[in-house]
């Protein structure tokens, strides 16, 4: 199976009025066809990278491709090429990719703002994603069970998981320790700044 490669699409065929055929010398018998060659992945066009063209004479049926154009045809063909708008859809995969990146950036920024707001005003039930101690790849959870002024009481999840979004897997009541401990909001802030606390979730009931 081929997942990537390139394809060509026919863009336009135009006459070349007033240009004499280099082979049979007839005029007004030449036509040029323009193509766009584009890279694709899974048949989604990514970007165009060349504009091959071919010319043919309807009188003598001689034809010439991109690589072997007679000198007399080069200037008129270049003019047609410049006059032809190449199809924008050959960029559609790249456009989708950029949209996706933009969306991810917007979603990331919103999540950061949300995390900061949740951390500044903790609620019972908030769940903090934290890195396991001395272990970059593993994550666990802290759950807020009480808020008293500048401190929050949390219970630690007793499991770690090699996934930076552990909440789906670990957020079950029986997976948390029974014993709570206190953290100040200042400590939470420091944990967030150091990248030890990576996410805050407030689950809606």
Between residues 50 and 58, which has the closer beta carbon with respect to Zn ion? Answer: 58
Q: Is residue 57 close enough to count as binding Zn ion by CB under 5 A?
A: yes
How many CA atoms does the CB half-sphere of 48 hold within 13 Å?
17
Between residues 57 and 127, which has the closer beta carbon with respect to Zn ion? Answer: 57
Give yes or no for a contact between 199 and 190, defined as CB atoms under 8 angstroms apart. Answer: no
Give yes or no for a contact between 127 and 145, defined as CB atoms under 8 angstroms apart. Answer: no
Q: Is residue 60 close enough to count as binding Zn ion by CB under 5 A?
A: yes
Q: Is residue 159 close enough to count as binding Zn ion by CB under 5 A?
A: no
Least gap, CB of 54 to Zn ion (angstroms): 14
Q: Which of 16, 19, 21, 183 binds Zn ion (CB under 5 A)?
A: 21
| Cα-only R_g, the chain | 32
Q: Please tell me the distance from the alpha carbon of residue 138 to that of residue 164, in angstroms, as a whole number.
A: 7
Q: Which of 14, 23, 151, 153 binds Zn ion (CB under 5 A)?
A: 23
In the structure encoding, which two tokens stand for residue 122, read together?
A: 């903790």
Least gap, CB of 31 to Zn ion (angstroms): 11
Per-residue contact flags (x/-) with Zn ion for residues 115 to 134, judged by CB under 5 A: --------------------
Please, which residues have CB within 8 angstroms of residue 116's CB and are 6 or more apart in sequence?
none
- Alpha-helical segments (H) within 121-195: 167-170, 185-193
Between residues 25 and 44, which has the closer beta carbon with respect to Zn ion? Answer: 25
Q: Which stretch binds Zn ion (CB under 5 A): 10-18, 23-31, 39-47, 167-175?
A: 23-31
């Amino acid at each position: 199976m081929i997942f990537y490669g390139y394809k060509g699409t026919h863009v336009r065929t135009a006459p070349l009025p007033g240009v004499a055929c280099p082979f049979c010398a007839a005029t007004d018998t030449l036509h040029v066809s323009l193509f766009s060659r584009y890279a694709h992945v899974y048949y989604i066009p990514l970007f165009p990278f060349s504009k091959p063209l071919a010319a043919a004479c309807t009188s003598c049926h001689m034809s010439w491709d991109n690589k072997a154009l007679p000198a007399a045809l080069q200037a008129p063909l270049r003019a047609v090429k410049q006059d032809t708008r190449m199809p924008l859809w050959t960029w559609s995969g790249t456009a989708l990719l950029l949209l996706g990146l933009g969306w991810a950036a917007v979603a990331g920024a919103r999540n950061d703002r949300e995390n900061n707001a949740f951390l500044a005003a903790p609620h019972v039930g908030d769940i903090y994603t934290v890195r396991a101690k001395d272990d970059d790849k593993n994550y666990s959870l802290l759950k807020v069970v009480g808020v008293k002024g500048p401190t929050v009481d949390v219970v630690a999840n007793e499991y770690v998981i090699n996934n930076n979004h552990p909440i789906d897997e670990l957020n079950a009541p029986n997976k948390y320790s029974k014993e709570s401990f206190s953290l100040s909001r200042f400590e939470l802030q420091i944990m967030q700044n150091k990248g030890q606390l990576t996410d805050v979730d407030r689950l809606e009931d």
